[in-house]
Each structure stands twice: as C-alpha cells, then as structure tokens.
Amino acid sequence: MRDVDAIYMEMFRRLRLFGVTNTLTFTQFLSIVGCFADFDALLTVYEGQCDELELKTIGTTEDKGAIRETLELSIVGIARPLAGHFFEAKNMEVYEKLKCTHAMLSSMRDSELLSFGKNLITICTENPLALTATNITPAKVTALSDANTAFKTIGPEPQTNIKNKSGKIKVKNATRKKLVSLIRIRMTNAMYGLTGINDAILADFLNIIKLVHTGIRHIKTGETTVVKSFQLLSSTTNATISDGMINVPELEMTIKCRKDGSSANAVLPIKTFTISAMAFGYEVYSAQVVITDIDYEIITIIMVPVS
C-alpha cells in the first residue's frame, strides 16, 4: 500500500471502529446509521482496490519494510537534534536540509529516502563539533551508514505486473476522495445535527475528523496542526458578525464565517501568522495571531465599524 493510502486507511478504519463501538448509541439517529452503512460499504471497496495494487506487486522482499523502518528511525534520531543545533546557530541552510519527521520520511520514495540518508551522513562527517554538541556518538553515525547501505542493497522500488495500473490507481484515488467527502460533509453535518448525544462521543468523532484535514499536510510538511475556529465580534455591540471573511495570506487560505457569525473549522500549523479579516460595514482588521496547540479553540476578532 502506498504511504498516503496507509495513513488514510488507518484513519478510515479508526472511524469504522468508532461506528461499530457506538452502534447502540446511534440506533436512534437514522442519518448517522445511514452514513456509517454507506461509509463501511465504500471502505470495503477501497480496501479491495488497495489490496489489488499491493498484492500483485513483484520483486519485494519480506524484510524490506523492517529495513526501511530502521533507516527512517536512524535518520530521525540524528537529523532532529542536529536540526535543532543548526537552528539555534542560525545556520538555516543546513537546518532546512535536516528538517524532517518520521511521517515525512515514510512518504518518500525509496530513492528519496536513500538520498536523504546519504546527505545526512555527509553533514555528520563535515560537522564533528555539531555531533559532539548534540551527543550524537560515532556509533550512531555508523549505524545510520549501515542502515542506508542495507536498504540500498535491497534494490530499487519493485516493478509491478498489474495490468492497467495507472487506471486502477485513478479509480482507487477516486474512491478515497469519495470517502473523504462523505466524512467531511455528510457525516460531519449529521453528527453536528445531533441533540442529546454524549459529549465524549462527539469529541472522539471530531478527533478522527481532524485526521482527514491534517494527515497529508503533516506528511508533506512535517508541521503539527490544530483545528481552530474564528469568530468576528462588533466592537460597539459585541454581537457576532455574519458573512465575514478571514484571510491567511501565508497559507493562501480564506475562511468564511457562517450566517450565525461562527466560522468553519480551519486547520492551521502551530506558529504565528499575520491574518486579515473583512466584513461589510467594518474596517479591515490585520494583526498577528499566535496559533497554540489547543484544538477547537475559538479565536475572537474584534471588528470596528466604518465611521
């Protein structure tokens, strides 16, 4: 299974288990029961499509996954402390080369992972003082080199004997997209529409939904993300402002408020952003906002009416 599919599959199966675990709770809510039934049927199709693409792969070795995992862990164990060292030293050129997470490495092709490992070994060789400062022993560097060599020895990524492989990948990706859409729109709306449901169950559901939004971004960028909501309030009446809009230029993201003044959830990395907010009849708001690690926090923005 491809790395992206593996991450989605983990999330999908968690959601399936969530539905099974709470079957009795949901029996009185037909909309949720229907959502989970359709979701389970579609997930079964997706599992079959992933299995077909994976099981017909030739040229693999049984221990390839374990050897790759060893290499990934070895890289993370050295690259992350070194990245912190060079960041503090304000050497951003080397820092950018070292910045990584285990999830990010897992998403790389074999050749990309080998190249990253090779470059890391070179950085270690050229910066012995940095190794000393971060307590990275020569044995760790040797272990990294051995892991890189062992993974390279396995050979290139396997060839496949799948007929019409590209077409089947497109069909699989389309199924995955349908699953995500079902979760993000239909299932989420049904869950939010429930009354009298246990708060803990709803919180568990929201945490799973968050994986839909954050999983791929975390793989691609290595950033930890959280879900936030924005609310615009009038400085004169303290009332919520409907139909407002919040822009995050750095992410090329626009967040639209609902008619009740609340916003749709936005997934943001934990860092400081300059944001702007606009609403009819109010001055444009612009300021820096610190995104903390608290999930589902409501960020209130005070808007001043146009004089």
Report percent pLDDT > 90 for the chain.
24
Mean pLDDT of the chain: 80
Please give the pLDDT value at position 58. 41
**Three-class secondary structure assignment of the chain:** CCHHHHHHHHHHHHHHHHHHHCHHHHCCCHHHHHHHHHHHHHHHHHHHHHHHHHHCECCCCCCHHHHHHHHHHHHHHHHHHHHHHHHHCCCHHHHHHHCCCHHHHHCCCHHHHHHHHHHHHHHHHHCHHHHHHCCCCHHHHHHHHHHHHHHHHHCCCCCECCCCHHHHHHHHHHHHHHHHHHHHHHHHHHHHCCCCCCHHHHHHHHHHHHHHHHHHHHHHHCCCEEEEEEEEEECCCCCECCCCEEEEHHHCEEEEECCCCEECCEEEECCEEEEEEECCCECCEEEEEECCCCCCEEEEEEECECC
Burial of 192 (0-12, 13-18, 19+ CB in 10 A): exposed
Beta bridge partners of 302: 233
Stretch 268-276: mean pLDDT: 86
Dig out the tokens for 151 from the structure: 């993974």
Please give the pLDDT value at position 64. 67
Sequence-separated (6 or more) residues with CB below 8 Å from residue 251: 268, 273
Please give the pLDDT value at position 55. 52
pLDDT at residue 142 greater than cutoff 50? yes
Give the N- to C-terminal CA distance of the chain in Å, as an integer. 59
Please give the pLDDT value at position 283. 94
Kindly report whether the global pTM for this prediction surpasses the value 0.75: no
The region of weakest confidence among 15-29, 175-189, 237-251, 270-284 is 15-29
Place of tokens 């999930």: 295
Highest-confidence range of 38-52, 118-132, 293-307, by mean pLDDT? Answer: 118-132
Buried b (16+ CB within 10 A) or exposed e, 56-81: eeeeeeeebeebbebbbebbbebbbb
pLDDT tens-digit readout, 197-209 = 666 677 667 666 6
d(CA 272, CA 56): 46
- Please tell me which residue, 169 or 221, carries the higher pLDDT value: 169
pLDDT at residue 67 greater than cutoff 80? yes
Q: From the centroid of its chain, how far is CA 179?
A: 16
